[in-house]
Structure 1
Amino acid sequence: MGPLNWGDVPTAVGALFAGGAALFAWQTIRSQRQQIGEQREFIGEQTRFMDEQRQNLELERAELRAVADDRRTDQAKRVKMHSRKAGASTDGQGAQTPDDHWEVTVTNSSDAPVRLAEVWFGNAYASSDVFEWRLHWNGPVELCGDRLMQLVDLIGPGRSVRFQSQNFSPAAVHNNRPVLYFSDDGGNRWALSWRGELRPTDQEPGSSLPS
């Protein structure tokens, strides 16, 4: 074995330390990459979890809205309107004259009061006569009660009101069909057509809207 070449020792030591530093740097980078991968996976899981939570919240809100809408419309659906054309009188032979006005019976079948109820005929004709209508107080016999204002402040649960139009010509009767406007116990305003079509409305009490 020949003499040690001390000139090569610093080079070898430097190479050794350089290799160790490179190995350490590689391990550090590998560890950092692993940590970044784990962090990305964690963030992805959290993002998926948050998306699922958001979707669940949206479904719960939709269900709550549906329940609230059902509750809001439940009372309005229990308000019934029965309308019919009627003749004013009979002639000398006892025959009824042609139908010249509307008779509209409104019944509140809900368990809460209905407020600010009114019937308009066509676009501009308010009821000419309004009465309490006792459908069930005396068995099957219908009885006319107290006279009321055109805008009925309150119809209690199980109560009925009869609205009557002015006298029209037969053609005008056909063209001026009744629409009931009323507010439910929650203050929501509704329109009920003679066909039984119920819809929300922004109609102001005391004024009709174009049909």
Structure 2
Amino acid sequence: MGPLQWGDVPTAVATVFTGGAAWFAYQTIRSQRQQIGEQQQFIAEQMRFMGEQRQNLELERVELRATAGERRAAQAKRLSMRSRRAGASADGVGAPTSDDHWVVTVVNESDAPVRQVEVRFGTAYNSAEVYEWDALWSDAREQRGDRLLQLVEVIGAGRAVRFESQRYSAAAVHNNPPVVFFSDGNGVRWELNAQGDLRETNQQPGNPPSDQ
């Protein structure tokens, strides 16, 4: 080995320093990339977790709305409407010759009163006759209870009322099916049609239903 050439020392030192700096920079970049990768993975996991949480919250909200809706409609679903078409002969004597009016029995099967009950036929016709009724009576029974107003203020728990339409042609009867309107114990207004479809309504007692 020959004597050290001092002129080469700075070059050697610079080379070592440069190599060290390069290695340090490489390690720094590698570390930063690793940190960035870990951060991206963490963010992805957090986004996935948040997405699952949002989905779970939405499912919970849907379930809560459904449960609230069931509770809201619980009493209204206990009101039933039985309807049939009844005929009358031309002279009022003998067997019926045509279906010329509706006979509707509204039964409150809930454990609380319903209020402001009325039956409309189509969009234009009010009930012509309204009577107290016994929920246990046959719908074909002819004898009625006391006569009531078109708008029945209260039907108590387990009680019933019979509504009859005016008499008109069979075609008019067919085209104007009955709909019962009533308010539940919380004051929510409902309508129930002959097909058993129940929904909230903005119809006010004594007035025809407005468009919704």
TM-score (norm 2): 0.80
Report the CA distance between 1:108 and its aligned residue.
Answer: 0.7
Q: Per-residue displacement from partner, 1:133-160 (whole Å, max 9, x unpaired)?
A: 23359xxx99744443322222222111
Which blocks of at least 5 consecutive residues in structure 2 are unaligned? none
The code of the aligned residue for 1:63 comes to: E
The code of the aligned residue for 1:192 comes to: L
Partner in structure 2 of residue 81 of structure 1:
81
The code of the aligned residue for 1:84 comes to: R
Report the CA distance between 1:124 and its aligned residue.
Answer: 1.3
CA contact 2:203–2:210 (8 Å) conserved in 1: no
Report the CA distance between 1:75 and its aligned residue.
Answer: 2.6
The separation in 2 between residues aligned to 1:3 and 1:210, in whole angstroms, is: 111
Distance 1:173 1:58, change over 3 A: closer
The code of the aligned residue for 1:95 comes to: G
Indicate yes or no: 2:171 matched with 1:189.
no
Report the CA distance between 1:87 and its aligned residue.
Answer: 5.3
Which blocks of at least 5 consecutive residues in structure 1 are unaligned? none
Distance 1:183 1:16, change over 3 A: same
Which moves more between the two structures, 10-19 or 64-73? 64-73
Q: Per-residue displacement from partner, 1:3-31 (whole Å, max 9, x unpaired)?
A: 42211111111211111111111111111
CA contact 1:115–1:154 (8 Å) conserved in 2: yes
Aligned residues: 207
Q: How does 1:41-52 map to 2 (within 5 A)?
A: 41-52=41-52
The code of the aligned residue for 1:26 comes to: Y
Partner in structure 2 of residue 11 of structure 1:
11
Partner in structure 2 of residue 104 of structure 1:
104
The code of the aligned residue for 1:76 comes to: A
The separation in 1 between residues aligned to 2:81 and 2:144, in whole angstroms, is: 17
CA contact 2:84–2:102 (8 Å) conserved in 1: yes
Partner in structure 2 of residue 95 of structure 1:
94
The separation in 2 between residues aligned to 1:142 and 1:100, in whole angstroms, is: 16
The code of the aligned residue for 1:111 comes to: D
Q: Quote the RMSD (CA, aligned, Å).
A: 3.0
Identity of matched residues, %: 65
The separation in 2 between residues aligned to 1:3 and 1:91, in whole angstroms, is: 144
The separation in 1 between residues aligned to 2:16 and 2:191, in whole angstroms, is: 92
Report the CA distance between 1:210 and its aligned residue.
Answer: 8.4
The separation in 2 between residues aligned to 1:171 and 1:11, in whole angstroms, is: 112
Distance 1:82 1:6, change over 3 A: same
